[in-house]
Structure 1
Amino acid sequence: MHSQSLHTIKPWIEGGPGLRARRDIAEGTKLYRVSGMLSALPTRTSLQVGAALHIDSATAEWRFIEHSCAPNLHMDFVDWSFRADRDIAVGELLTFNYLTTEARMAAPFTCSCGESECFGEISGFAKLAHDLKERLRNRVAPHLWAGEAGGCIFGAFQAMPGTL
């Protein structure tokens, strides 16, 4: 199914643009495959895909997916796509945990998700205490765990120079 029929960009309560489900979305549904321009530097809207590699797109809808410490989406690191973590109701804001892909945030912020196990300051995976990193273990990008040992994993993409 084409992603356009699943979600739409709408303003939400916090005042910024966000993606909301246009219809009910079943758990496991693939919503977006990440694509865009590759860069060594992070931006406020980029997604980290390797130890020193980020992907950004000025036109991709996925850049409007908001952060939550209890998200309804996760990144599938096999094909670098966003998938529904659970059933998502029509109108629900689409979210994922930025700490699962970003070693260091280009624009850190204090989370206001209101979840009982909120991480508080969202500065990046590298800045988390070990026990908080362990809470994310099943959803963290391979490059972040590899980064804990100084490695880099980036094999899921086949890209032309400068693009993905």
Structure 2
Amino acid sequence: MATLDTTPGTDTGHADFLRLDHQICFSLHAATRAFNGVYRAALKELGLTYPQYLVMLVLWEHDELPVKRIGEHLRLDSGTLSPLLKRLEAAGYVERRRSPEDERSVTARPTEAGTALREKALGVPKRIAAATGLDLAEISALRTQLNALAARLDAADPEALGGLG
């Protein structure tokens, strides 16, 4: 795999590194916005937003979890996750409870209505896959690449990224 030499002061011969259409971050941002639009349409009949759908996916997979673990799965902090859970609870899809062992710990689990919603959601991944125009092998390969990219970015040394030169 080719890499760009981004060492400060190195003349790479590419004067257009700062073009918007050359930024991977913008390509990912644009793809994310496009995905959000497709998911908005696919989730409309379920009455869920995309972030709420992600919470439900975690709960359908793991049943009851501490809120902290849900946040770890989704890479969300409690300040973002708590309002999502409150809205899902108000809709009747999630039940939150304080742990009897530790009052500070709150768990969440799908209610009966939340579990029933899973059946309605089964068609969502197929509709999203169809919207991408990719076959399942391409989707799997892209997901693998994106997961590897996220892992590399998580491991990046923030100190090495600071400073402009």
Normalising by the smaller structure, the TM-score range is under 0.3
Relative CO higher for 1 or 2, CA cutoff 8 Å, sep ≥ 6?
1
User: Which protein is bigger by CA-based radius of gyration?
Assistant: 2
TM-score (norm 1): 0.25
Q: Which has the higher strand share?
A: 1
TM-score w.r.t. the length of structure 2 is: 0.25
